[in-house]
Chain A
Amino acid sequence: MGWRLEALRQLASYAAAALLAFALPLHLLEHAPPPLRQPPRPWLLWLILVAAAIHGSQGVRQVLYDYLHGDTGRRLAEAASLLFFAAVAAVGAYGLAKTLP
Chain B
Amino acid sequence: MPPLLHAARPRDNPERIAHLLHRATGLLLAAYFAAHAAATGLLFAGSAWAAGAAAFLATSKPLLFLVASSAAFHGLNGLRLLAAEALALGVGKPGIPRPPYVSQTLRAGQRRLLDAAVVGFAAAAAVAAYTLLTTP
Question: Interface of A with B (CB < 8 Å)?
Answer: 11, 14, 17-18, 20-21, 24, 32-33, 49, 52, 56, 59-60, 63, 84, 87-88, 90-95, 98-99
Q: Is B131 an interface residue (CB 8 A)?
A: yes
Number of residues in B with C-beta < 8 Å to the partner?
25
Q: How many A-B residue pairs have CB under 8 A?
A: 64
Q: Is B37 an interface residue (CB 8 A)?
A: yes
Report the stretch among B10-18, B22-30, B90-98, B101-109 that lies at the interface. Answer: B22-30
Choose from B23, B40, B82 the contact partner of A95 (Cβ within 8 Å).
B40
What B residues does A17 contact at CB under 8 A? Answer: 78, 82
- Residue of A at shortest CB range from B87? A14
In the complex the two chains form, is A14's CB within 8 Å of B82's CB?
Answer: yes
Question: Interface of B with A (CB < 8 Å)?
Answer: 23, 26-27, 29-30, 33-34, 37-38, 40-45, 71, 75, 78-79, 82, 85-86, 131, 134-135
